[in-house]
Chain A
Amino acid sequence: MSLIGVAGITHTYGDRAVLRNVTLSVDSGEVFALIGPTGAGKTTLLRIMNLLEIPGAGEVYFDGKCIPRVGKQKLEIRRRMSFIQQKPQVFNLSVYDNVACGLRWRGEKKNRTAEKVDHILGMVGLEGYRNRNARTLSGGEAQRVALARSLVLEPDVLLLDEPTANLDPISTAKIEQLISYVAKQRSMTMIMATHDMPQGRQLADRIGVLLAGRLIQTGNASDIFRSPQDEEVAHFVGMENVIEGIISASDEDIATVDIGGNGLQAVSSYPVGKEVCACVRPEDITLALSSTQSSARNSFRSEVTRVTTVGPLSRVELNCGFPLVALITRISAEELDLQVGKEVYATFKATGVHIMERRAG
């Protein structure tokens, strides 16, 4: 059942449209990730959901009820959710007082407050910081205080805005661990904005892609990452190979896409003659020195045009009549002795290709 949702939200700052007709509904117990580049409107959407901002148009729903724009009811509803901002804002008080303030505002008894706060400080690993002034903490610690301050309220809905932006990898891992722990343990409903796609993928049940104020696609991780709806989403989710072509043959559910004379086979039911884009994730491509027999339907003889190695992975740019990017491990790149001009075979499965309709214009 839908716990929190928005319908037809349009919002502008001055004459800049930040959100355009966004409709979204999140079920009770669901973890929803809102992904999109910086400036896509993620924060604004979360602020509207937390009733911090009144949308230019559209409605916010909570627990099946439409929330009025003004009035006392807003405070009541707001007290059932919690919002963690991108830059953790701690009050100039002790860690304990920071975490306790939400409970005090809700009129919780003193000894219950102390119990709950101490428990949650233990959970986020800040037991020893009880009496420290929260302003003296590092970024990662401050974010944990902010998280504790929200979690201690046991909200029905937790809204997180880029909870790990600006944090080092260790702090990020700690925060992610906490989020997934809470999501599982308390089956809390969460809406999380992030531009870190692996994070969204790892933590969320369902993902929504927000681009330039529009909620373009929602679905589970494999929908979004394997089958983006259009080129914009494809680019954003790291689908580096988006190749334009025309369906030249169709045999049951296997279609052949003509790309400048090369035939590429993919699972698709689009009719012959349709202008499409073929998407292949770079990590789904394997490289070999000779054309080997395999079950993969697509194998192209190609020339290496560029190799760049970042950490354990090598990004290999190829020319096989059309440009193609493959991501392989550094070790295999070394074994294949990939150098510019070298001839290799790029192989990928028909099921690894996602075909989408080319947008007009």
Chain B
Amino acid sequence: MRIAARSLSISGTSCLLASLICLPLASLIHFRQFRGKRALVSTIQTLFAMPTVLVGLFVLVLFSRAGPLGLFRILFTPTAMVIGQILLISPLMLGFTISALSGVSREIVDTATSLGASGFQMIWLVLKEARYAVLAAVIMGFARAISEVGCAQIVGGNIKGATRVMTTAIALEASKGDIALGMALGIILLFLALIINIVLNRLQQR
């Protein structure tokens, strides 16, 4: 079950890092008025549909020996997979966080302004107000990260004991013809997702 643990830790890390980047960034986009804001939001929403293999290809090119960031030599390591997954799920998290923040009414924002909230205090309050929807965005990001196979395959290389995760393992078993093992792994994956959802839901109900 090392594979399952690896799946969790890679996707968990990428989800956490993506949240740290996306939540402040989404708040910034939401609260600042600037030219091209609409276009930016549309672009982000378009990127929801980003194929996982395309992200994989991009990271592969970026970090390959001859690539611009080749000197880091992180290709076919979990680090590269985390980077790929961050790129993959960031648009999703950004987009859903922005729409979550838009769900907080104008009156609430005015009330907080009137009570003397500074810029950061306001962002924090509005994130808290929208916490259910924001958490949904984070869960969505995690779900996409743990379930994708294209990027993990290309960037990680499905190396046994190093970068093999649940999805790439399922793909391998399927191609080997071991349908039963593939199915079993799939069920474990879904079961893990269920547990994580339950835990997060418990957290938000506190």
Contact = CB atoms under 8 A, between A and B. Distances in A.
B115 A82 contact: yes
A79 B115 CA distance: 7
Contacts of A310: none
A314 interface: no
A78 B113 contact: yes
A116 interface: no
A50 B114 CA distance: 7
A202 to B, nearest CB: 26
A79 B112 CA distance: 11
A147 to B, nearest CB: 13
A360 interface: no
Interface stretch (B12-20, B41-49, B117-125, B137-145): B117-125
Contacts of A82: 114-115
Interface centre among A47, A50, A89 (most CB of B within 10 A): A89
Contacts of A50: 114
A357 B117 CA distance: 49
Interface string A39-73: 00000000100101000000000000000000000
B108 A89 contact: yes
Given A101-B125, A105-B121, A91 B114 contact: no
Given A89-B107, A89-B108, A78 B114 contact: yes
* Most chain A beta-carbon neighbours within 10 Å: one of B115, B117, B121: B115
A105 B114 CA distance: 11
Contacts of A149: 115
A85 interface: yes
Interface in A143-182: 146, 149-150, 153
Contacts of A106: 116
B37 interface: no
A78 B107 CA distance: 16
B129 A91 contact: yes
A92 B131 CA distance: 9
Contacts of B118: 75, 105
The DSSP consensus for interface residues of chain B is helix
B110 interface: yes
Given A91-B125, A91-B129, A101 B115 contact: yes
Interface residues of B, number: 17
A5 interface: no
A85 B115 CA distance: 11
Contacts of B113: 52, 78
A102 interface: yes
Nearest to A86: B107
Contacts of B128: 91-93
A153 B115 CA distance: 9
A85 B110 contact: yes
B108 A105 contact: no
Given A89-B107, A91-B108, A101-B125, A83 B116 contact: no
A29 to B, nearest CB: 22
A78 B122 CA distance: 14
Given A91-B125, A91-B129, A92-B129, A78 B111 contact: no
A256 to B, nearest CB: 54
Given A91-B129, A93-B128, A101-B125, A85 B107 contact: yes
A87 interface: yes
Nearest to B113: A52
A91 to B, nearest CB: 6
Nearest to B114: A83
A150 B112 CA distance: 11
Contacts of A85: 107, 110-111, 114
Interface in B41-77: none
A105 B115 CA distance: 8
Interface centre among A52, A78, A101 (most CB of B within 10 A): A101
Nearest to A155: B116
B176 to A, nearest CB: 51
A105 B111 contact: no
Contact of A105 (B110, B116, B131): B116
Contact of B114 (A52, A87, A92): A52
A79 B116 contact: yes
18 contacts: A47-B110, A52-B114, A75-B118, A78-B114, A78-B116, A79-B116, A85-B107, A85-B111, A85-B114, A89-B105, A91-B108, A91-B125, A91-B129, A93-B128, A105-B116, A105-B118, A105-B121, A106-B116
Interface of A: 47, 50, 52, 75, 78-79, 82-83, 85, 87, 89, 91-93, 101-102, 105-106, 146, 149-150, 153
Ranked 8 nearest A-B pairs via Cβ: A79-B116, A83-B114, A89-B111, A102-B115, A89-B107, A105-B121, A105-B117, A105-B116
